[in-house]
Amino acid sequence: RNYKTILYYCYYSPVNYTINRVSKELGIKTVEYQHSQISSNHFAYCGWNEYNDPSFFPDVFWAWRESDAIHIKNEFLKFKNFESIVGGNLIISRIKAGIKPKLTFAKRILVTLQGIGIPDFIKESIGLNSDYIWHFRMHPRFLSEKKFLDSLKEKYPECVEIDSANNLSIYELFLSVKYHITAFSG
């Protein structure tokens, strides 16, 4: 196939690092869709003007708003062919168009993981609150937690849910859960 452009989010995931490198070799443009808030505090979106190898980075950054596009452009000044565009948040427009929840509203808790494990108090809470369904969503860069989540699901099959938490959009999940627990990701 003759691909011209690849659109993804989270350029710094191991899979997307590889996609970037191979795409540059094949002359395919890569576009990262903004997936979170952007600031100088996020390692992936600041300080790259000291770096010399653009092969790990997308060619284009699709920003939600002008301030994000300007920030990213300033952080990647060293890469002459890097482009930052304002395309908006497509998910917000879908919500406004009326997406419907895929899950029945019940006692559901969404836990979005950040690659730093799960605190003991949450592990203990699952067994103590078995009338809740616990949805565990992995960070796209930290998929190594899958093995742990599978063992948690095996221990608590009626109240631990992994598949819908990682296959539905975060916005579809928000429509179906009562609580959201996370550490620090946008």
Position 153 scores a pLDDT of: 92
Q: Which tokens go with 1? A: 């196939």
Position 69 scores a pLDDT of: 93
Position 70 scores a pLDDT of: 92
Q: Which residues of the chain have pLDDT under 50?
A: none
Position 168 scores a pLDDT of: 85
Position 27 scores a pLDDT of: 92
Q: What is the pTM of this model?
A: 0.60
Position 95 scores a pLDDT of: 67
Position 185 scores a pLDDT of: 52
